C-alpha cells in the first residue's frame, strides 16, 4: 500500500508541475492516454490522479468533453497524513513550494506532556525544534518537536533541522540508525491565541487544526513528541485508509 501511495504521489506531483508550467486556467488537458505517455504511468494511475485533483478543485472533469484546469483562487493545498513522509515532500508532491520561514533548535526542560512518552523524568533536558513552514510563501504549519538528548547511547545534534533540506524523519534515521516506522497523530480544533496569531499570521480566534504527533522506531520506543498547528485555509489534511 505504501509503495502504491508513493507512486500515486509522484504521478500527482509530475502532473501538477505540468499543469503549472504548460497550462493556464481554463485550458483543456490532454486525454488520459496522452497523459499516461507524458507521465510514464498507466492510464489507470492517470485516471486516479485526475480524480484526486478534481476532488481538490485543481481540475474540472466534464464527461464526454474533457478535463480543464480550474482557477487557483480559493484552493487549499491537500497534504496526506496517512504515511510516514516528510512534510516538505508531501507539500511538494501536491505541486506547491514549501519553505522554512523560521527555525530554531534549543535545549529546554522536558514539558510534562512529553516526558512520559519519551521515558524521561519531568523537567529532564531535551531538544526542542521549532519550525514554521510556508506554502508558496504563506505561513501554513508551525511544528514544535521535542527529542531526547540521546537514543540508544547515541547523542543527538539536531542543529541541521534549521534547514528545509533536512527533515526530522531523515535526521532521526541517520542519527539513531532507526527509521521512524510509525507515527500516531491526534487531532483537535483550536482557535488562534496571541502566540498562534503571531506565528501563523492569522487574526485572533481564527480556526486552526492542532495535532499531537508521536514518532516510534523499533517496537514501542518513542523517538520524538511534537505539536503541529495547521492553517486549514492554506492546507487540508487528507487521511488515506485501505489495505
In a domain, 243, yes or no: no
The DSSP secondary-structure symbol of 30 reads: P
- At residue 84, does pLDDT exceed 80? no
In the predicted structure, residue 225 carries a pLDDT above the cut 60: yes
| pLDDT, position 75 | 58
Q: 26, 53, 69 — which closes off a domain?
A: 69
Phi, psi of 92 (to 5 degrees): -60, -40
Confidence (pTM): 0.68
pLDDT band at 177 (very low <50, low <70, confident <90, very high): confident
- Strand ranges inside the chain, DSSP E: 59-62, 66-69, 77-80, 98-109, 125-135, 138-148, 150-151, 154-155, 182-191, 207-216, 222-230, 235-238
% pLDDT > 90, the chain: 44
- 186 in any annotated domain: yes
Backbone angles phi, psi at 231, to 5 degrees: -85, 110
For the segment 204-208, the average pLDDT, to the nearest whole number, is: 92
Q: Which of 13-22, 89-98, 154-163, 232-241 has the highest mean pLDDT?
A: 154-163
The verdict on 121 and 222 lying in the same domain is: yes
CATH number at residue 155: 3.40.1410.10
Structural domain for 47, as ranges: 2-69
Residue where a domain stops, chosen among 69, 99, 121: 69
pLDDT at 4 over 50: no
Residue 11 banded pLDDT, cuts 50, 70, 90: confident
**Are 85 and 51 in a shared domain?**
no
Residues contacting residue 121 through CB under 8 Å, at least 6 positions apart: 110, 115
**pLDDT tens, position by position, 87-134:** 887 787 777 888 999 999 999 999 988 999 999 998 999 999 999 999
Q: Is residue 192 part of a domain?
A: yes
Average pLDDT over all residues of the chain: 85
pLDDT value at residue 3? 47
Same domain? 59 vs 91: no
Amino acid at each position: 500500500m505504501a509503495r502504491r501511495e508513493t507512486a500515486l504521489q509522484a504521478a500527482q506531483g509530475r502532473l501538477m508541475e505540468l499543469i503549472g508550467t504548460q497550462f493556464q486556467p481554463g485550458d483543456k488537458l490532454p486525454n488520459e492516454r496522452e497523459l499516461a505517455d507524458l507521465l510514464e504511468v498507466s492510464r489507470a494511475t492517470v485516471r486516479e490522479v485526475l480524480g484526486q485533483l478534481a476532488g481538490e478543485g485543481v481540475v474540472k472533469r466534464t464527461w464526454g468533453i474533457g478535463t480543464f484546469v480550474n482557477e487557483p483562487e480559493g484552493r487549499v493545498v491537500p497534504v496526506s497524513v496517512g504515511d510516514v513522509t516528510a512534510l516538505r515532500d508531501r507539500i511538494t508532491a501536491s505541486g506547491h513550494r514549501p519553505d522554512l520561514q523560521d527555525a530554531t533548535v534549543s535545549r529546554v526542560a522536558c514539558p510534562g506532556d512529553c516526558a512520559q512518552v519519551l521515558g524521561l523524568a519531568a523537567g529532564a533536558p531535551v531538544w526542542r525544534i521549532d519550525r514554521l513552514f510556508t506554502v508558496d510563501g504563506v505561513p501554513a504549519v508551525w511544528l514544535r518537536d521535542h527529542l531526547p538528548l540521546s537514543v540508544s547511547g547515541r547523542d543527538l545534534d539536531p542543529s541541521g533541522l534549521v534547514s528545509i533540506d533536512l527533515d526530522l524523519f531523515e535526521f532521526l534515521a541517520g542519527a539513531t540508525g532507526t527509521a521512524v516506522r510509525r507515527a500516531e497523530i491526534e487531532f483537535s480544533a483550536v482557535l488562534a491565541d496571541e502566540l498562534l496569531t503571531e506565528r501563523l499570521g492569522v487574526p485572533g480566534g481564527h480556526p486552526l487544526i492542532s495535532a499531537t504527533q508521536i514518532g516510534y522506531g523499533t517496537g514501542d520506543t518513542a523517538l520524538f513528541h511534537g505539536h503541529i498547528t495547521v492553517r486549514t485555509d492554506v492546507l487540508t489534511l487528507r487521511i488515506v485508509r485501505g489495505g
